[in-house]
């Protein structure tokens, strides 16, 4: 079985060293893109398509994405990369986040352009109808205290849940739940489980940065917008991507005349073969990385996945007038079936027309009546019931189609209380033997596409540094 390209098999293969990247998600592909001009890069991806958590599927002729994807206002490196790939014009900017309480009341949480610093949030806080005047002022003071806390204090915050930390800094319980309905869909965790450190980190990046609460939504699915063009760019730079190649083990390789330091065992079409590399980047989830690097004893090896999620594309028989644009609506999963709802028909050409097509994400899908394996018809009925509650004009409409994707494997890390401190420090991402970690879970930031891209810059710079090359400059997530 040929794993590496022919040019990487020649003794010495010129001045370039070869790098194997395990995982063809956003982190792995970005690292490959950054390294391909100067190294012989091979990406090994177990699935038959690129993207990992940042991809879409065709189900009976309809596109269903893995989760909900937004480029937040504090993102920089992922947006710049997207511009280089030619996708920058396919984004629609939304100036803030629409949050929903348990009764279906809506509020638009945004930042004023005309006020300094944290005062930018005041006008929208004052318009949240379900908060008392006292709760609004308490929320402003509590948010200020969290945002001003240094990153070093996050380890202390991780000893508490989001509810406990929010209470300690002065939020009312209603204020905490209100804030979490704006961010809950990103983690799929309840406020009583979520780490206080993640609660604080989201304050820092979403509220504490200029336009952090604003975001951009792709006018097409994320596979077409980002990961497929990125895959093509990797190959145009000389990199190689192997699909359906599952790495089973990474081991030390000694005495190689070409200077290879690692052996990578790969399963493909029922057979296992080995490749040798000077450097290996492991860009998979922590539980998978732990299996590939059993010689590592570190707290991150105990990190787990979040509970399974369901994403569905749902077509209605009429047009919902109450969704004036493509903004995402964030719901508290304790009170609604879904976590996030987006009107795709407002900004995806694929679903344009006289009828509404929604993307619906269900976090904590294990809490459905039959868990993640609840039948499609039952899930559709539960979602329609809540849509009728949220948009009463939806009540006479029929569900014309509901295409569902169940996700059990490609999930975010479960940042419950006590888990944030398990994030690897920068130096801990060097696993020895020229093996390095990448992935959004490895960075100082919270989660998401920006953290994934930034981790790729860091991993690429580990490789470059080992070879005496200058690092690639970038700005980290501003936590």
From the list 2, 12, 18, 1, the residue with the least C-alpha distance to 467 is: 18
134 and 186, same structural domain?
A: yes
Domain boundary among 407, 430, 447: 407
Write the CB contacts of 405 (distance below 8 Å, at least 6 apart in sequence). 57, 59, 64, 65, 66, 310, 311, 312
203 and 113, same structural domain?
A: yes
Q: How many helices (H) and strands (E) does the chain have?
A: 13, 21
Q: Where are the alpha helices (DSSP H) in 306-425?
A: 376-390
Instruction: Give the number of other CB atoms < 10 A from CB of residue 475.
Output: 10
What pLDDT is stored for residue 13 in this prediction? 41
Let me know if residue 99 belongs to a domain: no
Structure-token match 């704006």, residue found: 182
3-state secondary structure of 416: strand
What pLDDT is stored for residue 1 in this prediction? 46
What pLDDT is stored for residue 67 in this prediction? 84
Contact 69, 449 (CB under 8 A): yes
Cα–Cα separations (whole angstroms), residue 50 to 186, 304, 305, 350, 412:
21, 23, 20, 21, 17
- Chain centroid to Cα 163, Å, comes to 23
From the list 157, 208, 178, 188, the residue with the least C-alpha distance to 361 is: 188
Let me know if residue 68 belongs to a domain: yes
What CA–CA distance (Å, rounded) separates 361 from 313? Answer: 9
121 and 148, same structural domain?
A: yes
From the list 420, 458, 419, the residue with the least C-alpha distance to 438 is: 458
For the four alpha carbons of 411, 415, 418 and 422, in that order, the dihedral sign comes to positive
398 and 336, same structural domain?
A: yes
Let me know if residue 266 belongs to a domain: yes
Write the CB contacts of 240 (distance below 8 Å, at least 6 apart in sequence). 4, 5, 41, 42, 43
14 and 61, same structural domain?
A: no
> Domain total for the chain?
3
Ramachandran angles phi, psi of 223, nearest 5°: -60, -50
What CA–CA distance (Å, rounded) separates 458 from 462? Answer: 6
124, two tokens: 């929208």
61 and 46, same structural domain?
A: no
355 and 266, same structural domain?
A: no
Nearest-10 crossing angle of helices 162-169, 133-148: 100
DSSP structural state of residue 85: T
442 and 456, same structural domain?
A: yes
Contact 193, 182 (CB under 8 A): no
Average pLDDT of every residue of the chain:
91
What CA–CA distance (Å, rounded) separates 187 from 364? Answer: 9
Nearest-10 crossing angle of helices 133-148, 173-187: 50
What pLDDT is stored for residue 12 in this prediction? 40
The domain that holds 83 is classified in CATH as: 3.90.660.20
From the list 93, 201, 75, 225, the residue with the least C-alpha distance to 149 is: 201
Range 192-222 burial, b when 16+ CB lie within 10 A, else e: ebbbbbbbbbbbbbbbbbebbbbbbbbbbbb
Domain boundary among 407, 427, 455: 407
170 and 125, same structural domain?
A: yes
Let me know if residue 479 belongs to a domain: no
Instruction: Give the number of other CB atoms < 10 A from CB of residue 112.
Output: 12
Domain boundary among 369, 385, 407: 407
The domain that holds 254 is classified in CATH as: 3.50.50.60
421 and 281, same structural domain?
A: yes
What CA–CA distance (Å, rounded) separates 442 from 219? Answer: 29
Let me know if residue 100 belongs to a domain: no
What CA–CA distance (Å, rounded) separates 43 from 49? Answer: 12
398 and 327, same structural domain?
A: yes
3-state secondary structure of 428: helix
What CA–CA distance (Å, rounded) separates 245 from 247? Answer: 6
Give the tens place of pLDDT for each residue, 25-82.
Answer: 999 999 999 999 999 999 999 999 999 999 999 999 999 999 888 999 999 999 999 9
Strands 215-218 and 262-268: unpaired
Let me know if residue 337 belongs to a domain: yes
258 and 230, same structural domain?
A: yes
What pLDDT is stored for residue 180 in this prediction? 80
DSSP structural state of residue 314: E
Give mean pLDDT in consecutive 10-residue pieces for the chain, a chain of 479 residues. Answer: 53 72 97 97 96 93 92 94 94 92 91 88 93 94 92 93 95 89 62 91 90 93 96 97 97 89 95 95 96 94 92 96 88 88 95 96 91 94 96 96 93 91 92 95 87 96 96 87
Single pTM value for the model: 0.94
Let me know if residue 29 belongs to a domain: yes
3-state secondary structure of 400: strand
Let me know if residue 17 belongs to a domain: yes
Question: Residue 247: which domain range?
Answer: 6-54+224-304+416-466
């Amino acid at each position: 079985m040929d794993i590496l390209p022919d040019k990487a098999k020649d003794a010495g293969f010129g001045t370039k060293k070869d790098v194997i990247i395990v995982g063809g998600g956003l982190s792995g592909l970005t690292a490959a893109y950054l390294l391909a001009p100067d190294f012989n890069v091979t990406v090994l991806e177990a699935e038959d398509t690129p993207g990992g958590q940042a991809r879409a599927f065709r189900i009976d002729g309809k596109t269903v994405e893995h989760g909900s994807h937004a480029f937040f206002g504090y993102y920089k490196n992922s947006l710049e990369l997207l511009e280089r790939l030619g996708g920058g014009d396919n984004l629609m900017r939304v100036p803030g986040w629409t949050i929903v309480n348990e009764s279906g009341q809506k509020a638009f949480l945004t930042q004023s352009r005309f006020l300094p610093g944290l005062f930018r949030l005041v006008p929208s806080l004052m318009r949240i109808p379900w908060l008392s005047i006292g709760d609004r002022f308490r929320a402003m003071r509590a948010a200020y205290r969290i945002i001003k806390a240094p990153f070093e204090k996050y380890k202390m915050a991780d000893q508490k849940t989001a509810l406990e930390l929010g209470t300690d800094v002065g939020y009312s319980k209603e204020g905490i739940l209100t804030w979490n309905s704006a961010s809950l869909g990103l983690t799929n965790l309840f406020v009583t489980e979520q780490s206080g450190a993640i609660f604080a980190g989201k304050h820092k990046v979403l509220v504490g940065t200029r336009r952090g609460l604003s975001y951009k939504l792709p006018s097409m699915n994320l596979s077409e917008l980002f990961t497929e063009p990125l895959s093509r760019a990797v190959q145009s730079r000389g990199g190689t991507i192997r699909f359906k190649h599952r790495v089973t083990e990474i081991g030390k390789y000694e005495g190689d005349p070409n200077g290879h330091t690692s052996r990578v065992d790969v399963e493909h079409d029922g057979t296992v073969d080995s490749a040798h590399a000077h450097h290996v980047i492991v860009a998979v989830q922590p539980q998978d990385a732990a299996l590939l690097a059993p010689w590592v004893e570190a707290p991150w090896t105990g990190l787990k996945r979040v509970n399974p999620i369901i994403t569905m594309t749902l077509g209605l028989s009429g047009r919902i007038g109450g969704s004036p644009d493509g903004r995402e609506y964030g719901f508290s999963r304790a009170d609604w079936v879904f976590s996030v709802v987006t009107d795709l028909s407002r900004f995806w050409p694929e679903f344009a027309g006289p009828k509404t097509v929604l993307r619906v994400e269900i976090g904590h899908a294990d809490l459905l009546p039959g868990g993640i394996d609840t039948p499609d018809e039952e899930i559709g009925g539960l979602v329609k019931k809540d849509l009728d509650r949220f948009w009463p004009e939806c009540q006479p409409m029929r569900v014309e189609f509901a295409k569902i994707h169940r996700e059990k494997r490609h999930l975010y890390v479960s940042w419950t209380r006590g888990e944030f401190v398990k994030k690897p420090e920068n130096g801990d991402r060097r696993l020895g033997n020229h093996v390095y970690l990448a992935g959004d879970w490895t960075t100082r930031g919270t989660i998401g596409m920006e953290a994934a891209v930034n981790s790729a810059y860091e991993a690429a710079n580990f490789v470059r540094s080992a070879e005496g090359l200058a690092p690639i400059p970038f700005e980290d997530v501003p936590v």
